[in-house]
Structure 1
Amino acid sequence: MIATVSTKYEWKLFDDISSKLESKTLCAAAEQSEVLRDQYITGLLSDKVVEGLVCLPPETFDQDVERARQAEEADTLLKTMEMSRNRGEENSLRPRLLSNGYRMSFGRCTSKMCLGVLGALFLATAIGAFVVSGYVLVTYKHYDSFTTAQYALIPATFFTFVGVVFLITGFIGCWSMCNENKCLLFSFFLALLLILTLLITSVTLSFTYKSQINELIVNSSMDALYKYGPLDGRETIQVDFMQTQMQCCGFTNYTDWVSTPWGHQHPDEVPKSCCKSGIVCTGSMSNITTINVRGCYPKWKELLTSNIKQIAVGSLSLTLILLVGMVCTCSLLCYKRRDPNYSSLN
């Protein structure tokens, strides 16, 4: 059995030595190696020297050879620095020596820390998404008359899906930080890419269908006002709830009630849910100081507009976080390919 490495040095399987060591080994004469010279063998591989041969177990062959090669490179740099010191060039060579090991270790450690922080952040976000989803499911029944049936569960479904994706991504991130497994790292990268794609898609669709969504809200809200009347009716309960919670009256303003069937039965009046809180009110339009005159749609639109900036900042921040996570994951994957001393090599 012969194994040839990049040093042009042949290692052979010696059965007699293997029997002494009670394991299969690849051996070669130490003094003939172009890389594994005696000074490195005695310092790094002394426990593997048997009868003038360097013997390496096959499973650690590549790592041990690379360690010795790096040791020789370091020794060469030290000698070069010694020569350069006399010429005043030491400072130009020192960074090359330091960068061989410390820079890679620092970069890998930083990437692992980023993965850990991202994993914890995604787990926290998943919990928040589940809480929001539950809140939407509980409170949506008060507003489902203002949207068509096919959109009734979209908010809760969206936040539930986001929670599941972030939960899985968070676990993968924390697990890959601990195990540093190639498969886990690649899975984490794909999960981040999926979240980034979903984020870009959702933002794009929101802007694309903004006018359609606005038209849907206008039509369904006016329809709910025209169905207002029966005390136990769903539309009546939900319109009253909306006007009380948002301190508004009607759709555009309080005069919208004049043209509704309920307004025809109650001239110059608005529902008592239009009354200002803490004030004795009969709902009469003759005394508008006791009722809310602003419509619910302007208030809703104002609230949405005020939150657009926060939504934009949040989306941009999440995008940057995802990009940082993808870069850190790629860095760890590259370290696993380049660093032969990487302890979790699979």
Structure 2
Amino acid sequence: MKKECCGLNFVKNILNVFNIIFLLAGVGVLGVAIWTMIDRYQYVTLLASLTYPIIVYFLLSAGALVILVAFMGCYAVLKEFRILLVVYIFLLVLIFLIEAMVGILAYIYEENVQTELEMGLNNTFLTSYMIDDDVTHAVDFLQEKFHCCGAVSFTDWQHSRWLQTHETDNKVPDSCCKTVTERCGTRDHPSNINYTGCLDLMALHMEHHLYILSAVGLGICVLQIFGIVLACKLYFKLKNSYAVDDPHDRRTFI
């Protein structure tokens, strides 16, 4: 009994340590998701698929759920509440599946984002700029941030719907300029505008960020395995402890 009691306390302490680490990991995951939404989400309207926003929203949900479950786990351990411990284990498995999906999806999408942008980015630039406000804002933001112009080259803008339907002296959007000022896009000389296309720069940027999301998702999955094993171990130790203390205790059968 003394050995069993020490074993029980040891598992409880280890699981509490895990919950603290798990809580910090959840705050980190939530922080990465929020950072992605604030700093990188301007590009979403330029993507042909919804894969990227789906990854971000799942990561955001998982981060919030991790924080909730970590507090639940601490309470279940403190009170030796086995029913809540079962719920805790179930939620750990659920988070494991969500994070695994995020990690795998981000990794797969990282391999395909270049192809997606090659197929759709130029068309988005040429057909939606100054037509769709969200796309216009995203294109201007992209061109200013990466100091680029057009999807493949600054000459792409010569075929754009914007120049064909709007009365303007501009040859490229003002956001193409090295120093952005009103109507600076009337001159397309290399001393005035950026000649590099945005496609490769955006693809490289997206691939790097997707690698981070994949690493975060799969990294949390590894952590989850330890939590699931420890929680199951504690569950059965509590059950055995109640059975020894009082075989007729109703908690023995839960």
TM value normalised by structure 1:
0.56
Contact 1:133 1:156 in 2 (8 A): yes
Highest relative contact order (Cα 8 Å, sep 6+), 1 or 2?
2
Pick closer, same or farther for the CA change 1:186–1:262 going to 2, 3 Å: same
**Deviation (angstroms), 1:163:** 4.2
TM value normalised by structure 2:
0.72
Question: For 2:184, which of 282, 295, 305 is the aligned residue?
Answer: 282
Task: Please say which structure displays the higher CA radius of gyration.
Answer: 1
* Rounded Cα–Cα distance in structure 2 between residues aligned with 1:114 and 1:308: 30
> AA paired with 1:329?
A
Which string of whole-angstrom CA distances, capped at 9 and with x for unpartnered residues, describes residues 6-54 of structure 1? xxxxxxxxxxxxxxxxxxxxxxxxxxxxxxxxxxxxxxxxxxxxxxxxx
SS at match of 1:238: helix
> AA paired with 1:333?
Y
1:301 — aligned with what? 203
1:238 — aligned with what? 138
Matched, 1:319 2:215: no
User: What's the RMSD between the two structures over aligned residues?
Assistant: 4.1
1:107 — aligned with what? 10
Contact 2:96 2:221 in 1 (8 A): yes
**Deviation (angstroms), 1:325:** 0.8
Matched, 1:193 2:193: no
Pick closer, same or farther for the CA change 1:126–1:306 going to 2, 3 Å: closer
> AA paired with 1:255?
T
Alignment of 1:1-346 (within 5 A): 100=3, 104-105=7-8, 107-118=10-21, 120-121=23-24, 124-125=27-28, 128=31, 131-132=34-35, 135=38, 140=41, 142-143=42-43, 145-147=45-47, 154=54, 157-208=57-108, 214-227=114-127, 230=130, 233-262=133-162, 269-277=171-179, 282-283=184-185, 284-286=187-189, 288-307=190-209, 309-339=211-241, 340=244, 346=251
Q: Percent of aligned pairs with the same residue?
A: 19
* Rounded Cα–Cα distance in structure 2 between residues aligned with 1:335 and 1:199: 28
SS at match of 1:227: helix
Pick closer, same or farther for the CA change 1:263–1:235 going to 2, 3 Å: same
Which string of whole-angstrom CA distances, capped at 9 and with x for unpartnered residues, describes residues 64-114 of structure 1? xxx6xx7xxxxxxxxxxxxxxxxxxxxxxxxxxxxx357515522433323
* Rounded Cα–Cα distance in structure 2 between residues aligned with 1:308 and 1:126: 14
Report which stretch shifted further, 144-153 or 253-262.
144-153
**Deviation (angstroms), 1:321:** 1.1
* Pairs aligned (count): 244
**Deviation (angstroms), 1:322:** 0.6
> What are structure 2's unaligned runs of at least 5 residues?
none
